[in-house]
Structure 1
Amino acid sequence: PRYNARDAAIVLASMHGAKTLLGSATPSIETYYKATTGRFGLVSLTERFEGMQLPEMRLIDMSDARKKGLVTGTFAFETERLVNESLKRGEQSILFINRRGYAPIARCKLCGYVPKCNNCDVSLTYHRHSDKLVCHYCATPYSVPDVCPACKEPGIEVLGYGTERVEEEVESLFGHASISRMDLDTTRSKDSYENIIENFSKGKSQILVGTQMVTKGLDFDKVSTVGVINADSVINFPDFRASERAFNMIEQVAGRAGRRNENGVVAIQTYNPSHPVLSYLLQHDYIGFYEHELSERQRYNYPPFVRVIYIYIKHRDQIAVSSIAFEYANRLRKLLGNRVNGPDEPYVARIQSLYIRRIMLKIENNASITKVKKLLNDLRIEMTNQKLLSGAVLYYDVDPV
């Protein structure tokens, strides 16, 4: 089943006549809209526990820093200095990068060939601990080719940074410090997540490198510095929620700093310092971001002003899936008009050997979702009876997150 855990909790509570408390420093746009329009109650906590100040946010223009030679590997000198100062004071640092593995891309430096998964339309991520190229969608491992399969020359190199590579750089820059890494690869075994948290909490490690696992719900006394290594990888994503997701993720990881001591500092490394999301993050201005995002959603007709339903169609044959998706969308358009968008190819258009097409429905908030559900089900049955969905997998994602 595809569901939003927050919405499922609200429905479960209503079934039992219970109250639901939603708590967040960065509520979803839809939740805050309901709170400001009277559908939800709203209580605001305007200061941190024991009156601690929010951390200072510092934007580091990586383009400018590289031009001036103020970058070592993936670290700007400013980020490196802040971490060093924390270590000298006996405090801790968290370094956030939302990519696991060693390097997100392997490429031939001679011909530009990029190894991709045989089952999915994604480039492979290099993992140094296993010395394998791994697909992060189907988990298939591949050996690193000694020579490029395209030009037959020994030119394969790895590009970019993941948590493994950042951990390696941190060890070379701050070798005197104890370092922990928290990502999907280091938390697979039983109790590994708890052990990493406990060791960091007790001060056994001074620097924690991690993915979005480190952004929420963690309360450490001695963290004074947070480094966001590549803010652009979070912001630049083809989804209408990309800005909201980026604001929430960076603001949440920033909140790990300065919780028990003097003001923490957050260094945000970016190649696009003029992005509007970053201007609101610098001020910890959730309300300003919410109002900006709400006007964008209203202009382009996205939630909370409509409900979105994604219809996914998968097939092993690329031509067949396109044909089925266009037929389905055209029939749907006759019933729902311009509420139907697509079909289009999602960001990753093939996973586990199945080609994917996506149709987006934008349904008015006051429309009967029961009627929409019946209409979709009737159309699916009609096309199934006409053998038009043969070999295809069709499913729906209502109110996608």
Structure 2
Amino acid sequence: DFQKIALDQIKASFKQKDVCLLHGVTSSGKTELYIKLIEEQLSKGKQVLYLLPEIALTTQIIKRLQKHFGNKVGITHSHLNNSERVEIWKAVQEQDSGQVQYPVMLGARSALFLPFDNLGLIIVDEEHDSSFKQHQSSPRYHARDGAIYLAHLHQSKVVLGSATPSVESYYNAKKDKYGLVEMHSRFEGIALPKIQTIDIRKAHLKKQMTYQFAPKMLSAIEKTLKLGKQVILFQNRRGYSPVLSCETCAYTPNCTQCDVSLTYHKWNNQLKCHYCGYNEQLPKICPSCSALDFSDKGFGTEQIEESLKVLFPGHLSKRMDYDTTRGKHAHQKLITDFEHGRIAILVGTQMVTKGLDFDNVALVGILDADSMLHFPDFRSYERAFQLMMQVAGRAGRKGEQGQVLIQTYDEEHEIFKLLKKHDFSTFIKRQAQERKLFNYPPYNRLIGITLKHKNQRKLDETAQQLVVMMRKSFGNRVLGPEYPAISRIRNYYHKNILLKIEQKGSIASAKTILNTIIDNIQHHSDYKAVRFIIDVDPV
């Protein structure tokens, strides 16, 4: 039994190394292995921390863990109120291992900061996920790296689990820094889903598209529903449509505080900025030319849900995105309804890709794969591959082989060729070679510096000054300054600078030099009001 072999390999690797990367294809039974490892720790009277990237995932996992461990499982995330948080904090603080209320703690990234006293194991599930990184406010920590350090403090072990590990973790495992255990087949020998691409360029030219769907996608959905199976459709954009524009004069409503077009939300007839929250009512006539014909460009989850109601009126379709899961138990209700078959088609953003386990899903459709690929970021291919591989893994988890259909304008793209073969190792190798060429992680460490100011000219001056001073110390390791794709958010202009430090270089001394340079600039009266944000290992 491959799971038993994997479990023995993990235990063996723990004898030499503190961190083990478990790379198992989707539905290979990673959670089952975690349960066995947790049982072993509980028998020793130790605490276990189980980290997940999203609150949405906790619903299913908590049920599975409670089935095994009853009320020994505690849960923490940002949707808890203050008294619930205090209760969890006090429960974890308990010194006497015989009286510990929750020896197993399940939570999102903030669970790292609970006052553990007797930690034996940390499990980081879906370790590749960028949600483990705190983006908004300081400290900008990464929960995976934080977990490894926390385990080092407690002399405990870490399991990093994923079907699509990050390039960095895979590199560390191959370099023998971490243990590596791989599971290449699914539980009970079920075949991995069959992945096919649909060329929507041809479908558009031949005028065969129905709403957002190519004919092949529609017939596959129809066939799946006739068999009494369920469908998941993935579109990584919420709202109704990302851009509205006037057909007469091409006027596009933009945010007043950010350099971005407003997204149309049909359910409340509003235009909304997804960066600062600014909203306004949909104008009846064009403010520029007084014409009456606004049309929408592109599509979000809300528009897909509306189209499905027209195309498949006899089947209930629901969407799962940030707008529909704001309530405390909204996630739970959606997931439970889908599990029990009350919902036939689930449309979602990346929430639907992450580790959810549904028995009856036979088809997964990715409606716009290209939007994930063409992104100005060195990690965009890695993210797109991980997202598509993960969402594909929701299909055919029990019984027959599942089917995955990907709509794209570029069928010949190398990423799709590797996806069809489920060839993760070749993909990682190519990514690593490319990054070595251009000195990106895992071969180099990055420090991102973002400057913010309301006055664009002052920002440009400060950024230029900073780069000149940095180049004196770091030479051509400094990239920038450059405006990001969206250069103004909440009336603040942004400019980015990237510093690359070799692995054998000292990141600590780089930080010291950088702090000194920034202090010198901030003491200058002209640059006092500029805000500096430093992010080590940005994601």
TM-score (norm 1): 0.98
Q: Specify the code of the residue in structure 1 equivalent to 2:197.
A: L
Alignment correspondent of 1:156:
294
* 1:178–1:207 contact (8 Å) kept in structure 2: yes
Does residue 451 of structure 2 align to residue 313 of structure 1?
A: yes
Q: Secondary structure at the match of 2:430?
A: helix
* 1:145–1:156 contact (8 Å) kept in structure 2: no
CA distance in 2, matches of 1:148, 1:326: 40
* 2:458–2:527 contact (8 Å) kept in structure 1: no
Alignment correspondent of 1:220:
358
Alignment correspondent of 2:106:
none
Q: Secondary structure at the match of 1:335?
A: helix
CA distance in 1, matches of 2:204, 2:260: 29
What is the deviation of 1:210? 0.3
**Which one of the candidate residues 98, 122, 133 is aligned to 2:271?**
133
Within-5 A mapping of 1:196-207: 196-207=334-345
* 1:227–1:267 contact (8 Å) kept in structure 2: yes
Alignment correspondent of 2:172:
34
CA distance in 1, matches of 2:325, 2:190: 31
CA distance in 1, matches of 2:367, 2:493: 33
Task: Please give the per-residue CA displacement for 1:303-330, whole angstroms capped at 9, x wherever unaligned.
Answer: 1111111100000111111111111111
CA distance in 2, matches of 1:201, 1:380: 53
What is the deviation of 1:70? 2.9
CA distance in 1, matches of 2:474, 2:526: 20
CA distance in 2, matches of 1:381, 1:121: 30
For structure 2, list consecutive stretches of 5 or more residues without a partner in the other structure.
Answer: 1-138
CA distance in 1, matches of 2:287, 2:466: 39
Q: Secondary structure at the match of 2:347?
A: strand
What is the deviation of 1:112? 1.4
CA distance in 1, matches of 2:293, 2:314: 35
Q: Secondary structure at the match of 1:113?
A: coil
Alignment correspondent of 1:3:
141
CA distance in 2, matches of 1:45, 1:121: 46
* 2:263–2:271 contact (8 Å) kept in structure 1: yes
Within-5 A mapping of 1:2-401: 2-401=140-539
Higher relative contact order (CA 8 A, sep 6+): 1
What is the deviation of 1:150? 2.4
Query: Which has the larger displacement, 92-101 or 172-181?
Result: 172-181
CA distance in 2, matches of 1:83, 1:105: 27
What is the deviation of 1:389? 2.5
Task: Please give the per-residue CA displacement for 1:88-111, whole angstroms capped at 9, x wherever unaligned.
Answer: 111000000000000010111111
Aligned pairs, how many? 401
Query: Which has the larger displacement, 68-77 or 307-316?
Result: 68-77
Task: Please give the per-residue CA displacement for 1:198-239, whole angstroms capped at 9, x wherever unaligned.
Answer: 000010111100000000110000000000000011111110
What is the deviation of 1:366? 0.9
CA distance in 2, matches of 1:11, 1:144: 50
CA distance in 2, matches of 1:355, 1:88: 53
CA distance in 1, matches of 2:204, 2:254: 30
Q: Specify the code of the residue in structure 1 equivalent to 2:247.
A: K
What is the deviation of 1:387? 2.3
Query: Which has the larger displacement, 2-11 or 328-337?
Result: 2-11
Task: Please give the per-residue CA displacement for 1:37-81, whole angstroms capped at 9, x wherever unaligned.
Answer: 111110001111111110000100100122233321110111111
CA distance in 2, matches of 1:369, 1:389: 26
What is the deviation of 1:149? 2.3
CA distance in 1, matches of 2:413, 2:446: 26
What is the deviation of 1:175? 1.1
Task: Please give the per-residue CA displacement for 1:316-357, whole angstroms capped at 9, x wherever unaligned.
Answer: 111111111111111101110000000000111111110000
CA distance in 1, matches of 2:345, 2:293: 34
Alignment correspondent of 2:27:
none
Query: Which has the larger displacement, 38-47 or 296-305?
Result: 296-305
Task: Please give the per-residue CA displacement for 1:250-282, whole angstroms capped at 9, x wherever unaligned.
Answer: 000000000002010000000111222111111
Q: Secondary structure at the match of 2:527?
A: coil
* 1:224–1:261 contact (8 Å) kept in structure 2: no
Q: Specify the code of the residue in structure 2 equivalent to 1:111.
A: C
CA distance in 2, matches of 1:155, 1:8: 52
Q: Specify the code of the residue in structure 1 equivalent to 2:174.
A: T
Q: Secondary structure at the match of 2:162?
A: coil
Query: Which has the larger displacement, 291-300 or 187-196?
Result: 291-300
CA distance in 2, matches of 1:155, 1:83: 33
CA distance in 1, matches of 2:319, 2:348: 6
What is the deviation of 1:125? 0.3
TM-score (norm 2): 0.73
Task: Please give the per-residue CA displacement for 1:174-206, whole angstroms capped at 9, x wherever unaligned.
Answer: 111111110000000110001000000010111
Taking only the aligned residue pairs, the percentage that are identical comes to 46
CA distance in 2, matches of 1:79, 1:150: 39
* 2:487–2:494 contact (8 Å) kept in structure 1: yes
What is the deviation of 1:388? 4.2
Query: Which has the larger displacement, 139-148 or 23-32?
Result: 139-148
* 1:63–1:271 contact (8 Å) kept in structure 2: yes
Q: Specify the code of the residue in structure 2 equivalent to 1:3.
A: Y
What is the deviation of 1:16? 1.2
* 1:163–1:211 contact (8 Å) kept in structure 2: yes
Task: Give me the CA root mean square deviation.
Answer: 1.0
